Chain A
Amino acid sequence: MKRIGFFALLMGVLMSFTNPTGYKVGDKATDFKLKSVDNKMYSMADYKDAKGFIVVFTCNHCPYAVKYEDRIIDLATRYKSKGYVLLAINSNDPAAQPEDSFELMQKRAKEKKFTFPYLFDEGQKIYPQYGATKTPHVFLLDKNLVVKYIGAIDDNVEDASQVKEKYLENAIAALEKGQEPTPNTTKAIGCSIKVKK
């Protein structure tokens, strides 16, 4: 027992050294089991037939996340029929950001009629594994949970009608063709994930 504990500790130490910033494209993502606004638990393993997963770290309060809210709803609907499952995760600690409490997530999901799970990262265990730092922050996984794309949804937060490059949709299109997305990582401004100090 002691030995297992030691190994777990050693693994933890090694992980923290080898994986300081979370996943990179090509890494295999861990599955999670998180509670959604409907009070049910969701895992990627539940979706046996999924061709891939769009994991979006988002939240209620962040103006950047709010700007992308309608686009996230639209993506979830359009790609569901193509076999891609969108899972939204709120990783903010409500103690640091009261607008992002589970109850207010439920309220927001109802108001906006979310058709996808809106999961609460209770205890903030998932976002560090992924290396999510901000909202919104997207991770596109293939059906084997291998990370294929990390970054922004598109290149224009302020105006959906002025988007020139649909990074995420282009990445999914590449996956559909059996190709690697280019670019496979993009950067955008966002709200930092809130941790209580």
Chain B
Amino acid sequence: MKNISKKQKSKYENLYYHPYKKNNIKDKLLTSISILFSTIAILPLVLVLAYILIKGGSLLSYDLLTNLPEPPGDDIISAGGIGNAIIGTLIITIIATFISVPIGIGGGIYLAEYSKGALFSKFIRFGTNVLSGVPSIIAGVFIYGIIVYTKIIFGSNFSAIAGGMALSILMIPTVIKTTDEGLKLVSQELRKGALGVGASKFVTITQITLPAAINPIATGILLAIARAAGETAPLIFTALFSFYWSSSPQSILEPIASLSVLIYNFAIEPYKAQNELAWAASFILVLLLLFLNILSKWLSKRTNLET
């Protein structure tokens, strides 16, 4: 114990802040490093957004949003528009949402309301976590193997449906998890109250607990949609791409364009016009995704305020 006082007294016997004391130098150094690291961490976002705004935003026009893209090499000056890709992204995402939301909410309801910690529910929870870690390209390979290759859906191979199914595999785990967690936040008292007046489990869930958990569930669905809408890997050999409009109802059985696949295809073309179209598509896609993310953030903030 004497050693401490001796050591302190020797050089810095007072309580003042000594900027050159070893500990203080170390603290300052680490603080600077951590601030430097966080600056590096936000730099990519700033740079990427800046480039998308400058390169993509400057190309924005009515024609760009409403025209069809032109196959590479046809026209050196213009690559056309991204109209069908915008529509295609919407169609594929809607298909994926229609598949994944019922499964996700149903599975979440089972986990939160019915399962009693049995082996089956443990396996489903585990499986949900595993499924959320499955690389997106694997979802594409799987759908290719089971749908595209076999032509099992009305004999069509590459199609909007196949693309939507591939995306839905990525959405299901998110929707299940947020439904499960959202329902668990609903107070047990509310549940008991409903059951206590003789409501059936079905009525309790659909009219009491599910409405009470609607905000976190909606947040989860939005996040899942935001992730799916930006995905490319599951689409490149399921939905493929198309240079035409997908206007008729049958066109969901045909290959379909999407913003993300357009960006991929046109980015690796050697033609400048196509590259620029990829930037324009990036601008629209990023705008859409940022909007969805901020919307879900706003929703989840509202949830936190309520509870």
The answer to whether A and B belong to the same complex is no
